[in-house]
Structure 1
Amino acid sequence: MSSPNSSVFDLETPVLETPRLIMRPPHREDIEDLAFIGNNREIAEMTSRMPHPYSKDDALAFIESFENGRYEGCIYAITQTDSGRLIGMGAVENRERFGGLEIGYWLGKPYWGRGFATEAASALVDLAFRVTETDCVYAACRTNNPASRAVLRKQGFNFVGLDEMNSLAAGVVPIERHCLERDVWLDKKSEESKAVARK
């Protein structure tokens, strides 16, 4: 398996667009909305770095960390195209411990169950494969998070094993690790192109 090309980390989080989303770098104008949608225990317990309660100070600390280059990868504010409203966060980050690039995402609870996570995950996966030479993109989800597992399966991810994660909100919790191989992604993109051509 080849290692990821470092060019993804030289990019200044390029804007990504999907049919209903614009994914862009987070900025300080997001602090109030980020604190509002992020202040949910159900969300925090599914992540490693989100505390609960989640305040404006926490949102500011996150934005400052992004501005200071703390994260090795592309960090995204997920917004709705029609309104510009912030609905969640996403990332493609370097995870050398797990073999390369890993995508992650979360959405505010009002936006669950509407297909936004699938759109965001697809955009993150496409970025990872298109700007690097990695053979596999990784993702993880809590073992008690069937919705996130379903999103990963829609992208073609395969389960590779169980692990543990240190969550600020929930402590040490069991997680599943998944991998999407480049050839599977290419086959999926080819099928999508054929489907569009048939319309």
Structure 2
Amino acid sequence: MDLRHWPLYGLRLRTPRLELRLPGPELLDELASVAANGVHDPDRMPFSVAWTDGKPDEVARAVFQHLLGTVAGWSVRDWTLSLAVLHEGEVVGRQDLMGRDFGVRREAETGSWLGLPHQGRGFGTEMRAAALHLAFAGLGARYAVSAAMTDNPRSLGVSRRLGYVDDGLDTGVVRGAPVTLRRLRLDRARWEERRNVDVTVEGLDACRAEFGV
């Protein structure tokens, strides 16, 4: 692939078990299929946006279109880096890193999901650690923030293991009902104290300006 016009396709994050990268059409199709095969118990909704509601083909299409939309809508003032997560060459989930006026605020937000067969193996912590390394070590972030429903112990557990601290509560609306979200925040000093996953970054210099830094 010629990366002159969109060098973000050359960005790679690697941990001991995972590789994270912006998916081209083939990988994006795999990612959509992972989502279509399920990412949570259908009786509960762990996300603040109910994007998994719908038939499998509808979920797959929504994932495909959403990720293409993050590329089409990218600007240095408002960006979403939506990376496919691969284990031994197989797509297992998605890790997002988002910035709003990042060049000024130096604050990034994370979000992620894993396919059901790949949960419970520590991948969630490892892929979030990769995104945090990009944010802090690669882009010079001062803070990383996240949020999860108060009844989503897996997501909250990942945040706790990586050093996030409570940052208050929010109320959201999911499936027409109110839900309580716990906000979490991680500053640079605490990230440096708690980091314990080896992460390497490739291809950042070519696309650093795209993040507003």
Aligned length: 178
Match of 1:143 among 125, 145, 150: 150
Match of 1:65 among 69, 72, 75: 69
Letter of the 1:20 partner, please give it. R
Equivalent position of 2:53 in the other structure = 52
The 1-side partners of 2:183 and 2:177 are apart by 18
State the shift of 1:48 in Å. 3.8
What is the Cα-based RMSD across aligned positions, in Å?
A: 2.7
Distance 1:113 1:32, change over 3 A: same
Residues 15, 130 of structure 2: 8 Å contact kept:
yes
Distance 1:111 1:58, change over 3 A: same
Q: How does 1:120-131 map to 2 (within 5 A)?
A: 120-131=127-138
Distance 1:27 1:164, change over 3 A: farther
Q: How does 1:91-102 map to 2 (within 5 A)?
A: 91-95=96-100, 100-102=107-109
State the shift of 1:141 in Å. 1.1
State the shift of 1:174 in Å. 1.7
Residues 43, 108 of structure 1: 8 Å contact kept:
no
Letter of the 1:62 partner, please give it. H
Q: Could you tell me the TM-score, scaled by structure 2's length?
A: 0.72
Distance 1:67 1:159, change over 3 A: same
State the shift of 1:187 in Å. 1.8
Letter of the 1:12 partner, please give it. L
Q: Could you tell me the TM-score, scaled by structure 1's length?
A: 0.77
Distance 1:162 1:78, change over 3 A: same
Gaps spanning 5+ residues in structure 1: where? 1-9, 194-199
More helix by share: 1
Equivalent position of 1:23 in the other structure = 20
Gaps spanning 5+ residues in structure 2: where? 1-5, 199-213
